[in-house]
């Protein structure tokens, strides 16, 4: 299945709006034993660098940090916007950024009192998504996802 560039642009724009308007999502990471561990996570505000780079702040001693260190990927980020019937499953490469890469504003906002906290910044670069979005993805709604993936040049393409 392949959509026209206009269709793909429309799908990517709708998914980007849904993600930008959702503060929390489920983050699933593959475990060393082959299972998947999922937990709700609050995203940091989107930066201007790329709509498809998603960041989370977490404890550097957490299981998710260890699992990302082993796999270099997330199994999924699940985004849900009930009011719009918009559901996204996002996958991609993930890294725990080195301590010197954090943005000072981010740590102040997370701490709430201007003090630095022990934290790690997880960065996910989304390279595949599956979408169920009423009025955006093909009918019948929810029957099967519309899948998009980035090609080698970083452009989004519709895939099977």
CATH code of the domain in which 93 resides: 2.30.110.10
CA distance 144 to 65: 32
Whole-angstrom CA distances from 9 to 67, 80, 91 are 33, 21, 19
Give alpha helix (H) positions in the chain: 5-20, 63-71, 104-111
Q: What is the pLDDT of residue 47?
A: 67
Q: What is the pLDDT of residue 86?
A: 95
Strands (E), the chain: 24-30, 36-42, 53-58, 73-81, 86-96, 120-133, 146-150, 156-159
Q: Each residue's pLDDT tens digit in the chain (160 positions)?
A: 456 888 999 999 999 999 998 999 999 999 999 999 999 999 887 766 677 999 988 888 899 999 999 999 999 999 999 999 999 999 999 999 866 555 544 555 555 565 556 678 899 999 999 999 999 999 998 899 999 999 999 999 999 8
Q: What is the pLDDT of residue 1?
A: 46
3-state SS assignment for residue 57: strand
Whole-angstrom CA distances from 160 to 22, 129, 143 are 26, 11, 14
* Residue burial 4-34, b: 16+ Cβ < 10 Å; e: rest: eeeebeebbebbebbbeebeebebbbbeeee
Q: What is the pLDDT of residue 105?
A: 46
Partners of 94 in the β-ladder: 124
What's the whole-model pTM score? 0.84
Range of the domain at 146: 5-159
Question: Domain tally for the chain?
Answer: 1
């Amino acid at each position: 299945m392949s959509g026209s560039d206009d269709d793909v642009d429309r799908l990517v724009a709708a998914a980007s709006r849904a993600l930008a308007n959702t503060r929390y999502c489920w983050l699933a990471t593959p475990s060393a034993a082959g299972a998947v561990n999922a937990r709700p996570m609050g995203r940091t505000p989107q930066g201007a660098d790329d709509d498809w780079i998603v960041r989370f702040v977490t404890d550097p001693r957490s299981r998710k940090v260890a699992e990302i260190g082993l796999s270099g990927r997330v199994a999924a980020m699940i985004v849900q916007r009930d009011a719009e019937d918009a559901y996204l499953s996002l996958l991609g490469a993930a890294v725990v950024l080195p301590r010197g890469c954090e943005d000072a504003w981010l740590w102040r906002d997370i701490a709430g009192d201007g003090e630095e906290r022990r934290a790690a910044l997880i960065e996910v670069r989304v390279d595949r998504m599956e979408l169920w979005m009423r009025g955006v993805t093909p009918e019948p709604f929810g029957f099967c996802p519309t899948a998009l993936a980035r090609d080698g040049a970083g452009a989004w393409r519709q895939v099977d």
